[in-house]
Structure 1
């Protein structure tokens, strides 16, 4: 069976763009396979602007989200596997979609292992529901 998450992400992304909003992706940066610039990770999470003006080669695939972007003028290839995606929301009003942390499928980096090119923190974040809230 195909995962539903990429379909929901594509729908929320298109909705944000069609509404004239700036889509942002909330990512758990400690999940294995996440490649993001470590300088912008806070509390094991990072928020990424995924508007077409901020990215190139953007793709929401069945395995995750990937794109190229610039961070402080430096080019960076971002890779976010599906289990690391906590939500997609509009910057302007906070509306969007959130996902529970896929603890069963997300393999957080073990201390001492060097799985991530990003140099993201090796420690896990507290378990529980994501901090995203729907604001109307």
Structure 2
């Protein structure tokens, strides 16, 4: 029997594509906020402010080359000059509609290889087998207080 390993990919690129599609379908203008100094980011330096750049990624503003799980790549015009833009997914801090601000702002998300991203599932083999292992002393204390 052949068992495939379970790969837990990040949800971030899926959320980005979903918000982008939702904005376009509803006539909104999708914008991305990008960490301009992130690894692999290719943006015009003269438009970077406080280490960030805000980009309009609507189909009417850019020629989208790629929007996959790794990156967003497109050609945009800055002061009339066509410029290739590369945005690794990790560099994107937010995607939202310009008109109403609806969208998603990302915290520093952990990658799929981080231990906290792949929680361990307890199996029957992990459970204690004797009654002495299940003493009541291991219960966490309640965060609630009795107020009189």
Settle same-fold status: TM greater than 0.5: yes
SS of the counterpart of 1:21? coil
Q: CA RMSD in A?
A: 1.7
- Where relative contact order (Cα < 8 A, 6+ residues apart) is larger, the structure is 1
Larger Rg, first or second structure (1 or 2): 2
Residue 38 of structure 1, aligned match among 30, 33, 45: 45
- Of 96-105 and 7-16, the range deviating more from structure 2: 96-105
Provide the residue aligned with 1:85 in structure 2: 92
SS of the counterpart of 1:11? helix
Provide the residue aligned with 1:5 in structure 2: 12
Provide the residue aligned with 1:94 in structure 2: 101
Q: Distance in 2 between matches of 1:44 and 1:104?
A: 22
User: Residues 36 and 86 (structure 1 numbering): CA distance in 2 closer, same or farther, change over 3 Å?
Assistant: same
Provide the residue aligned with 1:48 in structure 2: 55
Higher helix share: 2
Task: State the aligned residue count.
Answer: 105
Tell me, yes or no, if the aligned pair for 1:23 and 1:90 is still in contact at 8 Å: yes
Tell me, yes or no, if the aligned pair for 2:10 and 2:111 is still in contact at 8 Å: no
Unaligned runs of 5+ in 1: 106-136
Unaligned runs of 5+ in 2: 1-7, 113-148
User: Residues 59 and 104 (structure 1 numbering): CA distance in 2 closer, same or farther, change over 3 Å?
Assistant: closer
Map 1:1-136 to 2 at 5 A.
Answer: 1-102=8-109
TM-score (ref. length: structure 1): 0.72
Tell me, yes or no, if the aligned pair for 1:84 and 1:101 is still in contact at 8 Å: no
User: How much has 1:19 moved relative to structure 2?
Assistant: 1.2
